[in-house]
């Protein structure tokens, strides 16, 4: 038992509580005056955020730890000891939750800077909720154990409930983890034009936690579950860079001068500002591919700086090639067949 200056338990208890209350106020003053001044001088903002989130809880935790050390031995009450311990566990739990919240936010910010991408707010929200549930459950178990409550049935029920909930939310969890996978893998981002394995082509509008929204070129909105999207093959036109190649197949009649055809088509393609010229890595090519049934088959290949320019460039270039070949009096045959009848 601690020394009792006034030989009166209740008077001594009140005096100790007053001293602890004053000490708590002094601790808050020290934190504001000295600790906060120190954290402001550091280069990182993490310590400032930690101090903002934990200052009040730390003062309360200091107060109840003081009660545990100085008041409980005076009164010698098991009930008071259990209640005070419950408060200590409660504030320690909240303190851990606040620290974890700050660390998750800091991770999200650093991840976005390091990868030059955005971290979905829903993903951070999921991490926050998941960590809070785990910490609060552990804190609750410790509080129940502090009051000598048998927690074995509770843990068994919690395990069964977790299994049932897992089966019930299997599809939703698949989509959620699929969304996390898409965000972390960075296979595509908002604004990218992608083609799905099912054939749909469009621009990514939003990558959510459970689903991804894609706007097609017919102005239709597709909502795709992330679980399905994470397991499918995706063709991203924006990666590895924005450069895109256009291919225009065409045919000319037999007897045409191949070199002349090649020069005419290359000259026609060079008229377009969107087509890259004089670049060895992205050349303009006219390739003689095949001697077909009724035509000499060629492919005109060119590059544009952005995949967004490819479609209209290909449309306009096809028309220009046709005009150039027609002007040069190079025939463009249509499918024909010759039938020989034996007499």
SS3 of 176, please?
A: helix
Q: Residue 78 phi/psi, 5° resolution?
A: -65, -35
Give the range with max mean pLDDT: 119-123, 130-134, 208-212.
130-134
Instruction: Work out the pLDDT band at 70, boundaries 50, 70, 90.
Output: confident
Domain span including residue 192: 187-236
Instruction: Specify the 3-state DSSP secondary structure of 290.
Output: strand
Residue 337 lies in a domain: no
**Could you give the CA distance from residue 107 to residue 90 in angstroms, rounded to a whole number?**
26
Start-to-end CA span in the chain (Å) = 129
* Residue 250 sits in the same domain as residue 220: no
The enclosing H or E element of 303 equals: strand 296-304
* Same domain? 256 vs 230: no
- Say if 176 falls within a structural domain: no
Q: Is the peptide bond before 194 cis (omega within 30 degrees of 0)?
A: no
pLDDT for residue 1 is more than 60: no
Asked whether residue 118 carries a pLDDT value surpassing 70, the answer given is: no
Q: Is the Cβ–Cβ distance between 12 and 20 less than 8 Å? A: no
Q: What is the CATH number of the domain that holds 253?
A: 3.30.70.100
Across the range 50-73, mean pLDDT stands at 89
**In terms of domains, do 53 and 191 share one?**
no
Question: How many domains does the chain fold into?
Answer: 3
Residue 284 lies in a domain: yes
Q: Is residue 27 part of a domain?
A: yes
- Tell me the mean pLDDT in the region 280-299: 92
pLDDT band at 114 (very low <50, low <70, confident <90, very high): low
- 8 A C-beta contact, residue 320 and residue 276: no
Query: What's the whole-number average pLDDT of the chain?
Result: 84
One domain, residues 84 and 129: yes
């Amino acid at each position: 038992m601690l020394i009792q200056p006034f030989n009166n338990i209740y008077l001594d208890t009140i005096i100790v509580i007053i001293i602890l209350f004053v000490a708590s106020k002094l601790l808050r003053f020290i934190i504001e005056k000295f600790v906060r001044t120190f954290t402001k001088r550091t280069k990182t903002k993490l310590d400032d955020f930690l101090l903002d989130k934990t200052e009040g809880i730390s003062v309360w935790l200091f107060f109840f730890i003081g009660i545990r050390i100085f008041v409980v031995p005076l009164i010698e009450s098991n009930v008071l000891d259990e209640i005070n311990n419950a408060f200590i566990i409660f504030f320690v739990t909240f303190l851990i939750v606040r620290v974890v919240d700050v660390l998750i936010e800091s991770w999200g910010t650093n991840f976005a800077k390091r990868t030059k991408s955005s971290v979905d707010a829903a993903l951070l929200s999921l991490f926050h909720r998941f960590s809070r549930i785990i910490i609060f459950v552990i804190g609750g178990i410790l509080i129940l154990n502090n009051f000598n409550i048998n927690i074995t049935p509770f843990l068994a029920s919690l395990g069964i409930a977790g299994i049932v909930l897992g089966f019930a939310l299997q599809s939703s969890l698949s989509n959620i983890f699929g969304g996390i996978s898409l965000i972390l893998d960075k296979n595509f981002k908002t604004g990218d034009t992608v083609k799905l394995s099912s054939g749909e082509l469009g621009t990514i509008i939003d990558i959510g936690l459970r689903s991804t929204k894609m706007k097609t070129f017919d102005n239709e909105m597709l909502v795709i579950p992330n679980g399905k999207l994470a397991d499918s093959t995706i063709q991203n036109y924006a990666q590895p860079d924005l450069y895109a190649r256009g291919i225009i197949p065409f045919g000319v009649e037999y007897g045409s001068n191949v070199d002349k055809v090649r020069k005419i088509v290359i000259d026609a393609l060079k008229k377009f500002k969107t087509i890259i010229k004089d670049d060895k890595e992205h050349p303009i090519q006219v390739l003689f591919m095949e001697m077909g049934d009724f035509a000499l088959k060629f492919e005109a290949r060119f590059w544009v700086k952005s995949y967004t320019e490819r479609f209209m460039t290909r449309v306009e270039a096809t028309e220009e090639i046709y005009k150039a070949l027609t002007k040069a009096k190079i025939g463009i045959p249509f499918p024909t067949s010759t039938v020989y009848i034996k007499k």
